[in-house]
Amino acid sequence: MISVGSAALPQARSAVEGRTALRVGGGPAFALAVAAGVSWALAAPPRGWWPLLPTGVAMLALALRGQNVRRRLRLGAVTGAVLYGATLPWLLDFSVPGYVVLALLETTLLAGAVAATTRWWTLPGALVLLEAAQARFPLGGFPLPGLVYSQPGGPFALAAPLGGALLVLGLSATAGAALAALLLSPGLRRRLATAAALASVATMPLAAAAAVTTAPAGSLDAAVVQGGGPRGTRAVFTDPDDVTARHLAVLETITGSPDLVLLPEGVVVVDGRLDDSADSATLAERARRLGSSLVVGVVEGEPDGFRNAAVAYTADGQLVDRYEKEHRVPFGEYIPARGLLSQLTDATALVPKDAIVGEGTARLRLPQADVGVVISYEVFFADRVREAVRAGGRVLLVPTNASSYTGAEVPATEVAAARLRAREYGRAVLQAAPTGYSAVILPDGRVVAQTELGAAQLLRETVPLRRGLTPYARAGDLPVLALALGVVLAPLVLARRRT
C-alpha cells in the first residue's frame, strides 16, 4: 500500500530514518520493481533509450524505501529477472543452459547490490559497484548487458573523459534518485531541496568534463571494409576462404590511396604462422597496390590452440607489426574447465581449440601514426583501451566479428561500448566487422558512418588523430569506485555516529 500521511491512508514511520514519508509495500513495490527491469531492458541497445535508465532507478528507489534487507533482496531479484531475462535471449542460439545460468548469476549480483542499499538514495552507488563487478566477474568479466551501454547518446556521457563509464552510470542513476526524491522526501520544501541537491550532483561534473580535451595530432584518411555475408554462422561451419574472398572483393572497390585500410577480426585463417603463407603474400600485394597501410584480423592455427591477431602491412607490402588478443571470450574462444565440460555436453565441439592468450602492447606502429588496437570483446574492457592509449595510440582500431549472432543486440552493444571508449580516451574509433556493425566514431562519441547488418560495404572517412591523456586515462576507475563505496557505506557511518 502507499501511505502519504493522510487520514485515508496510514502513515509509515521509518524506524531507521525517524520521519514520515511515502513508502510502497506489497504489490505496488513488486510492480515498481518489474517496471524498473522493463525500463532498463528498453534502454539497452539496440534501442538505446537513455532516459529510461534514470526512470528505472527512480521506480526501484520508490520500491525500496523503508524495506528490510529480505524485501530489498526480493525486489532486486525481480528487477534482475526481468532485465536479464529480456536482454540475454541471444544466448539461446548458443546454449539454453548457458542462458539460464548466466541470467540467474547476473540476477543474483543485482539482487545483492540492491539489498546493500540501506537507504534509497544509495542505489546509484550500488549500481556503480555492480557494473564494476560485472566487468570483472565471472571468468574475467561479462559486462553484457551493462546498464551504462544505454547512455552513449545521452547527456551524462559527457562525463566519460572525467571518470569513465562508471561515472556516466553513476550520474545517470543519481538523476533517477533526484526524480525519486520528489516523492520520497517528507514535505514539499524538503523534496525540492533534496531533488535539487541530487540533480546538482548529477550535472555539475558535466561542466567540468566539458573542459577536458585531448590535443590534435593530424588526421587519417581511413577505409573500413565489411565483406558481408550470412549471419548466425559458426566459425567451425564456415569456409574461411569464402570470408577472405568477400573482403578482398570489397577491398578492390577502394579508390585512391587511403592512409589506412582496416579489415575485421578473423577474415584470414591459416595453419601455422601467417608470415610465409600465400595469404600473407596476397595481403602484401593489396597493400602495395593501394599504397596504404593495411591492418587485418588473422587467426593462426597451432597444434595446441590458435592465435587471434591483428597484423599490419605498410604501403610497400612489409609485415611490420602485430597484436595478439589478450582478453578472450569464455565459451567463444576458450572453454573453461574443458575436460569436465566435454564429458557433460557437446558444446565444446563449437570451440575445438582454445585461443592462446596474447602478450605485448595493444598498439601497432604504422608510418602514419601509432594506433591503438583492441580486438572484439576487448572493447568492453576499458583497461585494454587504456593500455593502447597510454602506449601512444592516436586512434583506436577495433577489428571484431559478431557474425555468430542473428540479432542486433550484441553488434549494437559493441558500438555503444566503442562510443564510450572514444569519449573516455578522446580518440576516434574505427570498428570493422565481417557482417556488421562496422562504424566510424569521432572522439566525442558521435557515429559518423555505420554499416547495415549482413551487407558488403565500405566506409571511407577522415578522422582526427589525437594525443594526450584524459583524466580518466590517467586515474582509471579507482576514484569513482571509492566514491560509490562511500555512498553505499554512508548510512552505516551516520548511524554509528548517532549512537
Q: pTM score > 0.85 for this model? A: yes
Same domain, 285 and 247: yes
Mean pLDDT for all residues in the chain: 90
pLDDT at 426 > cutoff 60? yes
Q: Work out the average pLDDT over 85-102.
A: 90
Same domain, 272 and 383: yes
Q: Work out the average pLDDT over 23-29.
A: 77
Same domain, 159 and 275: no
- pLDDT band with cut points at 50, 70 and 90 for residue 11: very low
Same domain, 232 and 207: no
> Residue 76 sits in which domain range?
2-212+477-498
Same domain, 169 and 230: no
Give the pLDDT confidence score for residue 232 in this predicted structure.
Answer: 86
pLDDT in tens, 68-86: 999 999 999 999 999 999 9
pLDDT at 303 > cutoff 60? yes
- pLDDT band with cut points at 50, 70 and 90 for residue 499: low
At 290, which CATH number? Answer: 3.60.110.10
Q: Which one of 7-11, 232-236, 294-298 scores highest in mean pLDDT? A: 294-298
Same domain, 387 and 441: yes
Give the pLDDT confidence score for residue 347 in this predicted structure.
Answer: 64
Same domain, 276 and 327: yes
Give the pLDDT confidence score for residue 211 in this predicted structure.
Answer: 65
State the cell numbers at 328: 578472450
pLDDT at 1 > cutoff 60? no
Give the pLDDT confidence score for residue 20 in this predicted structure.
Answer: 40
Lowest mean pLDDT among 73-82, 166-175, 177-186, 219-228: 177-186
Pairing mode of beta strands 260-262, 457-467? unpaired
Distant-in-sequence, close-in-space partners of 369: CB < 8 Å, separation ≥ 6: 217, 218, 220, 394, 395, 465
pLDDT in tens, 325-382: 999 998 888 888 777 766 666 666 778 899 999 999 999 999 999 999 999 999 999 9
Domain count, the chain: 2
Q: Work out the average pLDDT over 114-124.
A: 94
Give the pLDDT confidence score for residue 144 in this predicted structure.
Answer: 87
Share of the chain above pLDDT 70, in %: 90
Give the pLDDT confidence score for residue 337 in this predicted structure.
Answer: 76
Q: Work out the average pLDDT over 101-107.
A: 95
Give the pLDDT confidence score for residue 390 in this predicted structure.
Answer: 97
Same domain, 301 and 428: yes
State the cell numbers at 387: 593500455
d(CA 132, CA 167): 11
Same domain, 384 and 250: yes
pLDDT in tens, 231-261: 988 776 688 899 999 999 999 999 999 999 9
Backbone phi, then psi, for 217, in 5-degree steps? -140, 35
Distant-in-sequence, close-in-space partners of 193: CB < 8 Å, separation ≥ 6: 185
For the CA atoms of the chain, what is the radius of gyration?
Answer: 24
Same domain, 358 and 221: yes
Higher pLDDT, 323 or 199: 323
Same domain, 431 and 486: no
Give the pLDDT confidence score for residue 16 in this predicted structure.
Answer: 36
User: For residue 50, what are the CA distances in angstroms to 1, 199, 294, 467, 475?
Assistant: 30, 17, 36, 30, 26
Give the pLDDT confidence score for residue 193 in this predicted structure.
Answer: 73
Give the pLDDT confidence score for residue 368 in this predicted structure.
Answer: 95
pLDDT at 452 > cutoff 50? yes
Same domain, 174 and 234: no
Higher pLDDT, 430 or 25: 430
CA 17-18-23 angle, to 5 degrees, is 70
pLDDT at 22 > cutoff 70? no
Give the pLDDT confidence score for residue 12 in this predicted structure.
Answer: 37
Q: Work out the average pLDDT over 277-288.
A: 97
d(CA 185, CA 20): 9
Give the pLDDT confidence score for residue 199 in this predicted structure.
Answer: 72
pLDDT at 421 > cutoff 60? yes
Distant-in-sequence, close-in-space partners of 338: CB < 8 Å, separation ≥ 6: 348, 354
pLDDT in tens, 145-154: 899 999 999 9
